[in-house]
Structure 1
Amino acid sequence: MKKSYRFICLLFAATFFATSAATAQGYFENFPVKADPKTVANKLSKRFLESKHQLYFDKGIHYAEVCTWYGALRFAELTNNQELIKQLRIRFELLFHLEKDLLPPPIHVDQNMFGCLPLRLYSITKDERYRDLGLPYADTQWTLPANANEEERKWDKKGHSWQTRLWIDDMYMITIVQSEAYKVTGDVKYMNRAANEMVLYLDELQHPNGLFYHAPDVPYYWGRGDGWMAVGMTELLFNLPQNDPNRARIMKGYLLMMNNLKKYVNKDGLWNQLIDEPSFWTETSGSAMFAYAMIVGVNNGWLSKDEFAPIARRAWLSLCNYIDDDNNLTEVCIGTGKKNSKQYYMDRPRIAGDFHGQAPILWCAYALLNQ
């Protein structure tokens, strides 16, 4: 009897330590079926292909759709899913003829970011049409229009994009198209633009707690707005050359944000609509952006694996619980302009399947697969 008991104890100890070791080495592996990144991304990509276009005030395809399209494309590229790449290209081909009117005009920061999509398609296919379509979106961010106003001229004179407005959303919209232009051309001017712009926003907008107000005149830490900063810094650091003079400053801002975000994780393992307000509701799109920033940070050694990987894993598992049977992420705050009212953010409608939420879930999925 004693021998049997001793054997059971030894077996339990061996199992415990083996499990602990596996957990320490593979936080981003061994997910339950519902949270398997490849399965989730396949379902959300299919859901995207079934969806209609979302338009930006009837002036071209909305940036949130572009972000989702881009995420599905990145996933297809990573997994060498040629059929998915083909279907995503078929959707895009219509923009060269039948749906040409849906191409966003390069007149606003949200519309210019469309360029990241054809540039990514060029990187995959080497089809020059994509390059020719995408590069002007990157270039016109630094080409002052003839009808520019005084504020736009001010930023242009300082070497920044005339589309600078110091809204935190911009730091994904500007940096992603400039980064893709750099990868396509190898011209460092694109990375210099993106890095200089990011440093401006960090210097002007980041607070000592690592977070960002929605805008300088709106003193609230809105989840998805801060999410744009998190993913903007993440994408930029991933693409920025190691010897870039702005890299250390951007890394400092990124680490300050990540280290403070972990203090605001809510009971769901996610983050609230206003990050620092415990009474607010769980908002999933911003949460997915924070999770993505942490996953990429762990994978690239910017963040401590044992400190941040459990937070990111828990966030991913929780986010998957918010995906409904139609493969729509729920509890997504609708598109939100700035307003100096806390109640305004509390009362924002929540919807399922909005591209603002579908996109970062896809980003998380391919980041988890890209180890």
Structure 2
Amino acid sequence: MYKKVFALLFLLSSFQLLIAQTSLLKNFPEGYTPDEIGRRIAYRFVTEKHALHAGKWIGYPETFYWNGSLKYAAAAKDKALIKLLQARFEHLFTTEKALLPIKNHVDLNMFGSLPLELYWVTKDERYKELGLPYADTQWEVPADAKPEEKEWAEKGYSWQTRLWIDDMYMITIVQTHAYKVTNDSKYIDRAAKEMVMYLDELQRPNGLFYHAPDVPFYWGRGNGWMAAGMAELLRYLPKNHKDRPRIMEGYLTMMKSLKEYQNPEGLWNQLLDDPDCWTETSGSAMFTFAFITGVKNGWLNAKEYAPAARKAWMALVTYLTEKNQVREICVGTNKKNDKQYYYDRPRRTGDFHAQGPYLWCVAALMEK
């Protein structure tokens, strides 16, 4: 009898502890609530100029800022903001149609995730019809494909594969969104197969990733793309999917290492394993998103990771200016086998590379 009572009390106390830990991601002081921060950053997007790739097409940083604004608007049930975001997109059907990215590169095809998210929120079929070809053409080999691109395709991977860690957000996000709106398993199977290959090829024993096989540095935002990509993929990957255990293993190994490299203020450095390097906010926001998502879904131990996620979020907010722009953002960065190159990357305020990921955190915090 006493054993049963003790066991019941233990379960009750454990449940109460879990509630207390997860509440760390719900109760924020004024000025730090996800709704406040989301409103500030998302409404700024409506007035921003386009950030074009090669001066021609909507680039991926703008795509993800737009997507983040939409996710916030949906979570906040802000119909006025949704209409503003739709109105901005409407020009891409008409006067700004030339700005629609072509479908020949990993950094361009990811655009499809935006109209697919718009379809998810609004159920307007035009968005789905526009978005799905961006997912499909990642696996449709063009006639002028290079030999190495054809080789990837023959193995069942995207012909746009290049083994840069950035790809594991760019490829998986559009495939995952295509699966979300169609329930066609081919899309999630593609994303999972690609992710497993990248994990096998690129993840280091400590769970982190070099920028590329020939660039042995743990660049913050590059690792951020992997962390966010795995978190997004795991949200939609069926529980019984054959690749889920491998991807979860890669995710958990990375999260453990990230927790160890979290700097004293609660964020992460431009080079993750270098304590003398500067704090960088875009990668930090991506890691925070991965932590929040893991705790909310029960993948991460709330006792360990909820305090770390809260600390990171509270620190991120301090980098937001009165003009609703994030500070200390590394500019777009190609790989280079030179450590000093990463130290010396220019830092910007308001760069879309961080504005979007801040909103991913907002949406994740606002989810029930």
Which amino acid in the other structure matches residue 168 of structure 1? I
Aligned to 1:12: none
Match of 2:198, SS?
helix
Aligned residue for 1:250, secondary structure, equals: helix
Aligned to 1:213: 210
Structure 1 residues 220-229 or 181-190, which shifts more? 181-190
Normalised by the length of structure 2, the TM-score is: 0.94
The yes-or-no answer on 1:256 pairing with 2:262 is no
After superposition, the Cα gap between the structure-2 partners of 1:25 and 1:53, relative to the gap in structure 1 and judged at 3 Å, is closer
SS in 2 for 1:104: coil
Say whether 1:54 aligns with 2:51: yes
1:194 equivalent among 191, 195, 202: 191
State how far apart, in whole Å, the 2-side matches of 1:336 and 1:268 are. Answer: 25
State the match for 1:347 in structure 2: 344
Over residues 46-84 of structure 1, what are the superposed CA-to-partner deviations in whole Å (9 max), with x where a residue is unaligned? Answer: 111110000000231010100011011111112211111
Per the alignment, residue 33 of structure 1 pairs with 30
Q: Indicate conservation of the 8 Å contact 1:205/1:216, yes or no.
A: yes
Q: Give the corresponding residue for 1:14.
A: none
Q: Deviation of residue 23 (structure 1)? A: 4.6
Contact 2:22 2:296 in 1 (8 A): no
Please report how far the alpha carbon of residue 316 of structure 1 lies from its aligned counterpart in structure 2 after TM superposition. 0.3
Q: Distance in 2 between matches of 1:111 and 1:123?
A: 21
- Per the TM alignment, residue 120 of structure 1 is displaced from its structure 2 partner at its CA by 1.1
1:273 aligns with 2:270: yes
Q: Does 2:185 correspond to 1:183?
A: no
Q: Matched residues in 1 for 2:160 and 2:22: separation?
A: 44
**TM-score, length-normalised on structure 1?**
0.93
**Deviation, structure 1 residue 131:** 0.9
Rounded Cα–Cα distance in structure 2 between residues aligned with 1:284 and 1:24: 25
The corresponding residue for 1:312 is 309
Note the residue ranges of structure 2 that are not aligned, 5 or more in a row: 1-15
Q: Report SS of the residue matched to 2:249.
A: helix
Letter in 2 for 1:285: S
1:165 aligns with 2:162: yes
Matches of 2:123 and 2:17 in 1, distance apart? 45
Distance 2:21 2:353 in 1: 32
Which residue pairs with 2:12 in the alignment?
none
- Which residue number corresponds to residue 136 of structure 1? 133
**1:1-371 alignment, distance < 5 Å:** 23-371=20-368
Counterpart of 2:166, as a letter, is D
**Cα offset for 1:29?**
2.1
Q: Which amino acid aligns with 1:328?
A: Q
| 1:32-51 deviation digits (Å, cap 9, x = unpaired) | 22211000000101111110
Please state how far the C-alpha of 1:268 moved relative to its aligned partner: 1.5
> Which portions of structure 1, spanning 4 or more consecutive aligned residues, are displaced by more than 4 angstroms?
19-23
Report how far residue 143 of structure 1 moved.
0.4
1:25 to 1:272, Cα distance in 2 relative to 1, 3 A: closer
Contact 2:21–2:306 (8 Å) recurs in 1: no
1:117 is matched by which residue type in structure 2? Answer: L
Instruction: Spell out, residue by residue over 1:226-271, the C-alpha distance to the aligned partner (whole angstroms, 9 max, x if none).
Output: 0000000000000101111000000000000001111111121110
How many residues align? The count is 353
> In the TM superposition, what is the alpha-carbon distance from 1:20 to its structure 2 partner?
8.7
* Aligned counterpart, 1:11: none
Paired amino acid for 2:224: G
Give me the identity figure in percent.
59
Please state whether the residue corresponding to 1:216 is helix, strand or coil.
coil
User: Counterpart amino acid of 1:94?
Assistant: H
